[in-house]
Each structure stands twice: as C-alpha cells, then as structure tokens.
Structure 1
C-alpha cells in the first residue's frame, strides 16, 4: 500500500538555510526513489492555518517513507530546514489501489 510524506511550509525565517535544505533534500532522495505528486505549486488554503507551500512525496509503503525520512542524508538536510523555516511533516498510509 502506498504511503505519502506531506510537508507544509508554514513560515520561512532564513531563506539561505532553506536553500541549503533544498539542495541537500534533493540529494537525499537518491536511492529512495520517491514520486513527487505536488511540489510547491499553486495552492489555496480552504481551512486551517495559512502556509507558504506544500510538497507531497509518494513511496511504495510506510517502511520506505520512514527509511527516506530517517536516512542519514535526509537527517543532515533536515537540520537546515529547522534553521530556515517552520514546517509540519507527516506520513500517511494511502489506500489499496484497485
């Protein structure tokens, strides 16, 4: 069953750190092969807190999503995200495809 990692950027504090995060996060995808479904495109908040953008990555399953998130390369990238912005990040199970 697929799993999705959803990242919503709520507020940027340091654009330079966020840029470093972007570079390192892109490199951290190597070997994990996530499928980007949404990547900071146009959006509209219908309910809840405002945000600056969102990213949705599809993985084959929860274990693959966790393996990417917990990988040393992504953990290194994540440090820059923490310094550059506030995000909400979660993994959610998808539904069985027909």
Structure 2
C-alpha cells in the first residue's frame, strides 16, 4: 500500500545545516523509492490552523517508509533538520485503488446501529 510521510514543519531562521539536509535527503530516499510530492511550496489553510510548511513524501509501502526513516543514511542527516526546525512528522498509508467512502460510511452506520442518540 502506498505510504506517505507527511511533515508539518515550523518556520525557522536560515541555518547552513538546513541547506545541507535538503541537499542530502534525496540520496537517502532513493534506495527506498521515496519521492517528494510536496516540498517548499505555499499552502492554503481552509480549516483550523496549520502554521509552517508542509512536506509530503511518497513511498511504495509502509516497510519502505520505515526503512528510509530508520536507515543509517537518514539518521546521519536527521539532526541537521531537527536541530533547527521543530515540527511533526507522520507516516500514513493511502487507500486502495477504487476506494469508496460510501462503503466506509455504511460500515460505520452498521457498527453503530442502535447506539445513536442513546446515553
């Protein structure tokens, strides 16, 4: 299942380590077939609050995403970002081809029949 590494990174002052991290990250992604989908672009907040920047990296699987994040090559450069840019990073699997949200809604209704409105 395709997996995405999603980061919400806070705005930070420039530091040379950040440029080095960005220079070197692709080399850590390549062995795991990771590729940037979103990086270094403006975003528009439609609901809630999302300060900072958004990064989305795609991997073929959760195993590949973990392999990248836990790899010695990535661990070697990770501090170059985390020492200067606070943020949150998650891994999330995508949905399968042909995903139908109506089926998910039906499953939720079925699982909760008889509980709606009861205290």
TM-score range, shorter chain: 0.7 to 0.9
Q: Mean Cα displacement is larger for which, 23-32 or 74-83?
A: 23-32
Given that 1:16 and 1:84 are in contact with CA atoms closer than 8 Å, whether structure 2 keeps it comes out as: no
**In the alignment, which residue of structure 2 is the partner of 1:77?**
77
**Structure 1 or 2: more strand by fraction:** 1
**In the alignment, which residue of structure 2 is the partner of 1:27?**
27
Which protein shows a greater Rg? 2
**In the alignment, which residue of structure 2 is the partner of 1:48?**
49
Could you list the runs of 5+ residues in structure 2 that have no partner in the other structure?
A: 99-119
Structure 1: 4+ residue segments shifted above 6 A: none
Given that 1:14 and 1:85 are in contact with CA atoms closer than 8 Å, whether structure 2 keeps it comes out as: no
Following the alignment from structure 1 to structure 2, what is the Cα–Cα distance between the partners of residues 50 and 56?
Answer: 15
TM-score (norm: length of structure 1): 0.86
Could you list the runs of 5+ residues in structure 1 that have no partner in the other structure?
A: none
TM-score (norm: length of structure 2): 0.73
If asked which structure has higher relative contact order (CA below 8 Å, sep 6+), I would say: 1
